[in-house]
Amino acid sequence: MKKAHEFDLNSPEIMEYPYDFYKAIHRDNARAVEVQGVGHWIGRMDDIKEITKNTSIFSNSYFSEGGPLPTGVSGKPLEKDVKEIFDSGPKVVNALWTTDPPKHTLHRKLVNKAFTGKWVRSMEPKIRDIANGLIDSFIDEGKTDFIKDYAVYVPMIVIAEALGMSREDAKQFKHWSDDILSGNLDVLDHRARLRVAKSFVEANNHFEATIDERRKCPADDLITSLATAEVEGKSLDTSEVLPIVNTLMLAGNETTTNLIGNAMKLLFEYPEAMYDISHDYNLIPGFIDEVMRFEAPVQCLYRVVTEDTEIGDVKISKDSSIMLGWGTAGRDPKYFDNPDIFDIYRSNSSQNVGFGFGPHICVGLGLAKAEAKIAFETLFDRLKDIELDKNSDLSHIPTFATRGYKKLNLQFKNNN
Ligand code: HEM
């Protein structure tokens, strides 16, 4: 079998199936594997846990001061017309995800005040209502593209409504987030950069107006909590709230879509799991944890190295990047027995790091788990004899950073 460093991470085969690469990392105890054009890949759970806590050497501050989007990661100059669009929008700075302590600690305390367990529980009836509304739109047809019609819209409508938008406006919201997420600005062509800039500024204008409105007239929603929360007498100003709102819009959508999509596909591969969870909804949380371990929707994320350092006996130089392989750690045999076996009854699936680890651990993990749980409960309440159309394209989205399906065509019967 190939050594870990012999795999080409940019090859279509690895994007489709990265698990032989991960297996090689654990077999060889490879602590930092150099990946061409990417940086060093870290896959062992112990290393990931150590590194995420060491924010002074492994930093999240790898974007320019104007925030992550206007210049991309490399700071490559923008064309004049693209820059003009960005400059016409509200000011944004680095906040929360793109900062390190102590700034991150303050931002995180403020955001945690909004994302409480109580708030997630208060969202549950709304999530169920959204899931039912989506199923209403396709149930009579007896078939659906599960990703496009369901897995995309459950998280999208939930977060759009939480941010003060109406259900009807969720399509606008999707349009902005699709544009903004359409690629790293560094590699997009001029036309695409114009499109990203336009959507970025439109979204920020919209949310700036909503933040102003909520400060004057508070409502019972997430955007009010973010705009008005105080820690040690400090609150966030609009240039900080805006990038946090952007992160919520972007971080909570495709990720949760992929969790729901990956979970659905695994149920076809493991029909006994489908039978068990559809007959006992108490098994769904453990199933979701196991999906997060086995097929993490976010397979890896960057850190930038602030000083020359070593991981094991591998030298890592200042300013280089490392990738934290959340999905690789899910297959670490030191933590999970027979890690390549999917088992909804595994006792320690919840130890996965699919939502990250350390100070930046996912803000929305409670919400994402609630969305996935309710999405499946509602599905099993309403549909039966669900089958996968095996003739449809079952390939993954072509990237090694996230893991999800482009489409999943299903057939089913109405459960009434
Ligand atoms: C299955 C769905 C999700 C997955 C797999 C996921 C994954 C992650 C991961 C791996 C991180 C760690 C980032 C790092 O260490 O650099 C993270 C952070 C974050 N996530 Fe999620 N996420 C999901 C859903 C959500 C949702 C629903 C929201 C909010 C609505 C959200 C908001 C955030 C935010 C704001 C951060 C940054 C936290 C910080 O820097 O302190 N995520 N997420």
Instruction: Render pLDDT for 259-287 as a digit per residue (tens, 0 to 9).
Output: 999 999 999 999 999 999 999 999 999 99
Q: Compute the average pLDDT of residues 181-191.
A: 74
What pLDDT was estimated at residue 208?
94
pLDDT of the residue at 13: 92
Binning pLDDT at 50, 70 and 90, where does residue 66 land?
Answer: low
Q: Is the pLDDT of residue 183 over 80?
A: no
295-340 tens-digit pLDDT? 999 999 999 999 999 999 999 999 999 999 999 999 999 999 999 9
The whole-angstrom separation of Cα 189 and Cα 200 is 16
Burial class (CB in 10 A: 0-12, 13-18, 19+), 144: buried
If you measure from the C-alpha of residue 84 to the centroid of ligand 1, how many angstroms do you get, rounded to a whole number? 31
CA 390 – ligand 1 centroid, Å: 32
pLDDT in tens, 74-88: 556 778 998 899 889
- Which residues on neighbouring strands pair with residue 231, listed in sequence order? 234
Distance from Cα 53 to the centre of ligand 1, integer Å = 16
Helix (H) or strand (E) holding 411, with range, is strand 409-414
Return the pLDDT at 74: 55
Question: How many Cβ atoms sit within 10 Å of the Cβ of residue 365?
Answer: 15
166 pLDDT exceeds 70?
Answer: yes
Going by pLDDT thresholds of 50, 70 and 90, the confidence category of residue 232 is confident
| Domain annotation covers residue 251 | no
The beta strand positions in 102-165, using DSSP E, are: 143-145
Is 213 inside any structural domain?
A: yes
- The distance from CA 384 to its chain's CA centroid, rounded to whole angstroms, is 29
Residues linked to residue 383 through DSSP beta bridges, in sequence order: 414
Domain membership of residue 263 (yes or no) is no
**By residue range, what is the domain housing residue 77?**
62-98+153-242
The predicted-structure confidence for 128-158, as pLDDT tens digits, reads as follows 999 999 999 999 999 999 999 999 999 999 9
**Distances 414 to 140, 143, 384 between C-alpha atoms, Å:** 8, 10, 6
In a domain, 383, yes or no: no
Nearest atom of ligand 1 to the alpha carbon of 258: 1
Question: For residue 65, what pLDDT is reported?
Answer: 60
Indicate left, alpha or beta for 281 from its phi (over 0: left) and psi (-120 to 50: alpha).
alpha
User: For residue 173, is it within any domain?
Assistant: yes
Ligand 1 atom closest to Cα of 326?
Answer: 10
* C-alpha 413 to ligand 1 mean position (Å): 35
Query: Mean pLDDT over all residues of the chain?
Result: 92
CA distance 96 to 106: 8
Task: At 341, list the tokens.
Answer: 């076996």
Supply the DSSP symbol for 337: S
pLDDT at position 201: 93
What pLDDT score does 19 carry? 97
The length of the chain is 416
pLDDT at residue 411, rounded to an integer: 97
Ligand 1 pocket: which of 99, 255, 259, 367 to mutate (most atoms within 8 A of CB)? 255
pLDDT above 70 for 363: yes
Let me know if residue 319 belongs to a domain: no
Name the residue of 112, 362, 373 whose CB sits within 8 Å of the most ligand 1 atoms, as the mutation to test its pocket.
362
Rounded CA gap, 5 and 334, in Å?
21
Q: How many angstroms is it from 78 CA to the middle of ligand 1?
A: 28
| Residue 1 placed within a domain | no
Residues with CB under 6 A from ligand 1: 60, 96-97, 108, 159, 247-248, 251-252, 255-256, 259, 297-298, 301, 326, 354-356, 360, 362-364, 367-368
* Statement: residue 354 has pLDDT above 90: yes
The Å distance, Cα 172 to ligand 1 centre, comes to 22
Measured in Å, residue 393 CA sits from the centre of ligand 1 at 28
- Number of domains, the chain: 1
| Index of the ligand 1 atom closest to the CA of residue 104 | 41
For the chain, state the CA radius of gyration: 21
| pTM score of the predicted model | 0.94
Examine the pLDDT at 210 and tell me if it is beyond 80.
Answer: yes
> For residue 38, how far is the Cα from the chain centroid?
20
Q: How far is CA 236 from the centre of its chain?
A: 24
Q: Would 183 be classed as within a structural domain?
A: yes
